[in-house]
Amino acid sequence: MKIGKHTIVFENTPVIISTGSAVGPKEKGGPLSKYFDTSVEDVYFGEKTFEKAESKFMAEAIDLAIKKAELDIHKIDYMFAGDLLNQCISSGYTARNLGISFFGLYGACSTFAEANILAASFVNAGYAYNSIASASSHFCASERQFRMPLEQGTQLTPTSQWTVTGSGATLIAKADENNKKIYPHISMATPGKVIDLGIKDIANMGAAMMPAAFDTIITHFEDTNRTPDYYDLIITGDLGILGSKLLKEQLKNYGYNIDNNHIDCGVKIFDTNAQDTAMGGSGCGCSASVFCGYIYPMLKEKKINRVLFIATGALMSPVSLGQGESIPGVAHAVVIEN
Amino acid sequence: MKIGKHTIVFENTPVIISTGSAVGPKEKGGPLSKYFDTSVEDVYFGEKTFEKAESKFMAEAIDLAIKKAELDIHKIDYMFAGDLLNQCISSGYTARNLGISFFGLYGACSTFAEANILAASFVNAGYAYNSIASASSHFCASERQFRMPLEQGTQLTPTSQWTVTGSGATLIAKADENNKKIYPHISMATPGKVIDLGIKDIANMGAAMMPAAFDTIITHFEDTNRTPDYYDLIITGDLGILGSKLLKEQLKNYGYNIDNNHIDCGVKIFDTNAQDTAMGGSGCGCSASVFCGYIYPMLKEKKINRVLFIATGALMSPVSLGQGESIPGVAHAVVIEN
């Protein structure tokens, strides 16, 4: 059911019955280390290339989610997934090896929220009994694709962010009398518009994506007649320190104060000073691994009960920037509740 | 509702109330020329770069669909779109300029079917009243991204295909007593698995994608208890001459004969001999523009009444091929009926 301008209500309360998370060495060395299911020292994860490693992180996250749910893989109807690599090869090759019907997505760092919206949409409508949502990213693969090869030793600019190496996956299932008492469910979604206020600095993604987050959050509150205090946590994907600051200021100007219940996955995943990650983490794998490893268990243990999760993406490419274009942002919001 | 292994039935019969199609000079010179809404001589479509031109083709197709439906753009809830460019910039920048909530997709040349499945899913479930589905591609932008810059003058290999410059868009609306008498509706979908039989030749996409088309078609027939003769047309996206031949042979071996009602958009769009396009057209824009310009009007005028439309995509990238990977294919099927 649609309410307001852009919000979907999932009346049949599709439940997240499990999650999986897998990350690389930098994330393993960060403050959320103990929350991830798998964390490895080897940035190649035993593969020969960064791109193949990224695919393996996604495969690992999905495998963990399926195993934890003790579900036969043949009972999973669809997989909704995407990543940052050109032609989304991390997801495509993972889907090939799993043999699950596949919807490929590209929403840059908003992909994990997009995947969860679509997976929940399919389960809620009865098109699927079980669906997987996943996203991944890899620092080394991203750097050489979007910026410079690592071998060049380019320094970070102060507003830049550090692409997370890792992946997260949720397994979303049809609610029934038993599982809905145990598992958190996806109750609503507010998919976002593409917003572009003219930022052209590829080393300032937080500022480029913030206006989209702002627009989606405002739309969500207006559509639902909710206010920030309804939520135990309002979680942004990877606005980083600067983007988060700008978002909080802008929302305050608009009359919404999220100072007490806002966290940003990109800020949480690294100790930005000690780990030299400038404004914090980014990449599809950032919000995916933090949601699956850190947030979901809190929901499942009912330490928190109402979460507004907004993943933001920057929809440019090196080619579009080279042609003088600015960086459009998109933000998709998902509500997870007990 | 889900039936069989992987088929969705849209009980509320979402209707396609309009389409738009826009193509470039090579397509304008081809046998389907008169069917496209817009066809231009200028491969740049008045823009400074091929990539910006591709985005303009998509914007034009969507604009045409909206205008023909005489619908206020604010009544369109969601846009599902994707393209072949890295980071799907053709769709992202189009979405920015339209201001419609955006789900970015990547399914290579299967994207147009994927977009229609998701748009129909949302309308059928009541998440949206009106949704846009679109996809685009551009020969010149694709060549330099996937193969060689045009300036190099590389010759076509005999099994290669020619990426279509163009786009198509469908406008899918909630069915009501009036519109369902007039417009064809999307009745079913069979989303596909990623299938890879080990083809590594980037100049033989037809062979790489055929196994996925075969798998999805077989699944569709088995799930629905239908046989090929149920359909007036069984339309593949861009298998080309060779891929189509292989598909028909394989299906015949399996007991399904589609010789009399199969067409391939890639074969239809060019006069392959006179236009020197080897095995025919390809690219997301191929099936999108042919469906919207050529197929949909036949459905609307009830010259044909039952169509199985299967768009196929190859999910590799130049990087994955460079790393020794083979080319996985995916095929999504959509049923459009009166």
The ipTM value here is 0.97
Please give the angle made by the CA atoms of B25, B26 and B29, to the nearest 5 degrees. Answer: 85
For residues A143 and A148, what is the distance between their CA atoms, to the nearest angstrom?
6
**A93·B320 Cβ contact <8 A:** yes
**A103·B105 Cβ contact <8 A:** yes
The Cα of B303 is separated from the nearest Cα of chain A by a number of Å equal to 31
**Chain A residues touching B78 at Cβ < 8 A:** 191
Residue B303's Cβ-count burial label (10 Å; 0-12, 13-18, 19+) is exposed
pLDDT mean over B155-162: 92
Phi/psi-derived region of residue A107, left when phi > 0, alpha when psi is between -120 and 50, beta in every other case: alpha
Residue B305 above 90 pLDDT?
yes
The Cα of B213 is separated from the nearest Cα of chain A by a number of Å equal to 13
For residues A136 and A284, what is the distance between their CA atoms, to the nearest angstrom?
5
Model pLDDT for residues B13-31, shown as the tens digit of each residue: 999 999 999 999 999 999 9
CA distances from A168 to A21, A31, A42, A274 (A): 4, 17, 18, 25
Structure tokens at B218: 């077989």
Q: For position B202, what pLDDT does the model report?
A: 87
Residue B71 above 90 pLDDT?
yes
For residues B124 and B189, what is the distance between their CA atoms, to the nearest angstrom?
12
Yes or no: say if B258 and B234 are a contact pair by the CB < 8 Å rule: yes
**B318·A86 Cβ contact <8 A:** yes
**B86·A125 Cβ contact <8 A:** no
**Chain A residues touching B87 at Cβ < 8 A:** 86, 106, 108, 315-317, 320
**Chain B residues touching A315 at Cβ < 8 A:** 87-89, 92-93, 95-96, 104
CA distances from B72 to A256, B77, B140 (A): 31, 11, 34
Model pLDDT for residues A83-141, shown as the tens digit of each residue: 999 999 999 999 999 999 999 999 999 999 999 999 999 999 999 999 999 999 999 99
Q: Which domains does chain A have, with CATH numbers?
A: 2-173 (3.40.47.40), 184-337 (3.40.47.40)
Of A86, A193, A320, the CB nearest to B93: A320
The Cα of A175 is separated from the nearest Cα of chain B by a number of Å equal to 15
The Cα of B108 is separated from the nearest Cα of chain A by a number of Å equal to 7
Closest-CA residue of chain A to B109 = A87
**B106·A82 Cβ contact <8 A:** yes
Closest-CA residue of chain A to B51 = A320
**A87·B99 Cβ contact <8 A:** no
**A122·B122 Cβ contact <8 A:** no
**B2·A99 Cβ contact <8 A:** no
Nearest to A125 by CA among B43, B2, B210, B178: B2
**A85·B317 Cβ contact <8 A:** yes
Mutate to test the interface with B, among A74, A98, A103, A134 (most CBs of B within 10 A): A103
Model pLDDT for residues A201-259, shown as the tens digit of each residue: 989 999 999 999 999 999 999 999 999 999 999 999 999 999 999 999 999 999 999 99
Q: For position B154, what pLDDT does the model report?
A: 86
The Cα of A303 is separated from the nearest Cα of chain B by a number of Å equal to 31
Model pLDDT for residues B172-227, shown as the tens digit of each residue: 999 999 999 999 999 999 999 999 999 999 899 999 999 999 999 999 999 999 99
Mutate to test the interface with A, among B127, B144, B186 (most CBs of A within 10 A): B127
Structure tokens at B151: 């300036």
Model pLDDT for residues A165-188, shown as the tens digit of each residue: 999 999 999 999 999 999 999 999
Of A100, A106, A318, the CB nearest to B105: A106
Of B96, B103, B105, the CB nearest to A191: B103
Q: For position B1, what pLDDT does the model report?
A: 93
Residue A67 above 90 pLDDT?
yes
Model pLDDT for residues A291-324, shown as the tens digit of each residue: 999 999 999 999 999 999 999 999 999 999 999 9
Of B92, B128, B323, the CB nearest to A194: B92
**Chain A residues touching B318 at Cβ < 8 A:** 86
